[in-house]
Amino acid sequence: MDLLDKNGYNLRELGNINIVLGKNGCGKSTLLKEVEKSLEAEEGLTKYITPERGGHLKHDPKLEVSFISQNQDWISNQFRKNQYSQFKQQSVLQYRKLETATLREIEKTPVLRNDLDYTFDTVVTKINDLLSNIEIKRSDNDFKVYKKGTEEEITVEQISSGESELISLAIECLYFSKQVSNSGINILFFDEPDVHLHPDLQVKLAKFIAELVNDTDFKVILATHSTALLGGFFNEHDAKFCFMEQNQKDLTFESLGEVYKRILPIFGAHPLSNLFNESPILLLEGEDDVRIWQQAIRSSNGDLKVFPCAVDTINKLNQYEIEVGKIVKSVYDDARGFSLRDRDDNPEDIDDKESVIRMRLSCRAAENLILSDEVLNILDTNWPELETRLNTWIESNEAHSKYVDMVAFRDSEFNRKGFDLKEIRNILIGQSNSNKPWEIAVGQAIGQLKSGSIPQNFSENKLCNFLGRKTINTLVN
CATH for 175: 3.40.50
My answer on whether 236 and 265 are in the same domain is no
Q: Between residues 280 and 73, which one has the greater pLDDT?
A: 280
My answer on whether 382 and 328 are in the same domain is yes
My answer on whether 180 and 286 are in the same domain is no
pLDDT recorded at residue 93: 85
My answer on whether 129 and 118 are in the same domain is yes
My answer on whether 242 and 322 are in the same domain is no
- Residue 170 confidence (pLDDT) above 90: yes
Name the domain boundary from 208, 234, 256: 256
Q: Between residues 324 and 428, which one has the greater pLDDT?
A: 428
Name the domain boundary from 256, 280, 300: 256
My answer on whether 271 and 170 are in the same domain is no
My answer on whether 12 and 57 are in the same domain is yes
Name, of 15-24, 300-309, 409-418, 429-438, the range with top average pLDDT. 409-418
Whole-number Å distance between alpha carbons of 16 and 14? 7
User: Do the domain assignments include residue 149?
Assistant: no
pLDDT recorded at residue 364: 98
My answer on whether 174 and 290 are in the same domain is no
pLDDT recorded at residue 443: 96
Name the domain boundary from 202, 237, 256: 256
pLDDT recorded at residue 72: 53
pLDDT tens-digit series, residues 264-322:
666 654 443 344 446 788 999 999 999 999 999 999 987 898 889 888 788 889 999 99
What mean pLDDT value characterizes the chain? 87
- Residue 441 confidence (pLDDT) above 60: yes
Mean pLDDT for the stretch of residues 365-381: 97
Which of 143-147, 419-423, 467-471 is predicted least confidently? Answer: 143-147
- Residue 10 confidence (pLDDT) above 70: yes
Whole-number Å distance between alpha carbons of 100 and 144? 18
Whole-number Å distance between alpha carbons of 377 and 375? 5
My answer on whether 87 and 200 are in the same domain is yes
User: Do the domain assignments include residue 449?
Assistant: yes
User: Do the domain assignments include residue 153?
Assistant: no
- Specify the number of domains making up the chain: 2
User: Do the domain assignments include residue 28?
Assistant: yes
User: Do the domain assignments include residue 142?
Assistant: no
User: Do the domain assignments include residue 314?
Assistant: yes
Q: Which domain holds residue 40?
A: 3-133+159-256
Mean pLDDT for the stretch of residues 150-158: 90
pLDDT tens-digit series, residues 200-256:
888 899 999 999 999 998 999 999 878 778 888 888 888 999 988 888 999 999 988
My answer on whether 238 and 366 are in the same domain is no
pLDDT recorded at residue 60: 66
User: Do the domain assignments include residue 31?
Assistant: yes
pLDDT recorded at residue 275: 44
pLDDT recorded at residue 273: 39
My answer on whether 210 and 229 are in the same domain is yes
pLDDT tens-digit series, residues 444-463:
999 999 988 899 999 999 99
- Residue 472 confidence (pLDDT) above 70: yes
My answer on whether 175 and 238 are in the same domain is yes
Mean pLDDT for the stretch of residues 42-55: 84
Mean pLDDT for the stretch of residues 55-78: 59
* Cα 220 from chain centroid (whole Å): 19
Whole-number Å distance between alpha carbons of 328 and 245? 12
User: Do the domain assignments include residue 141?
Assistant: no
Whole-number Å distance between alpha carbons of 209 and 129? 13
pLDDT recorded at residue 301: 85
Mean pLDDT for the stretch of residues 16-31: 89
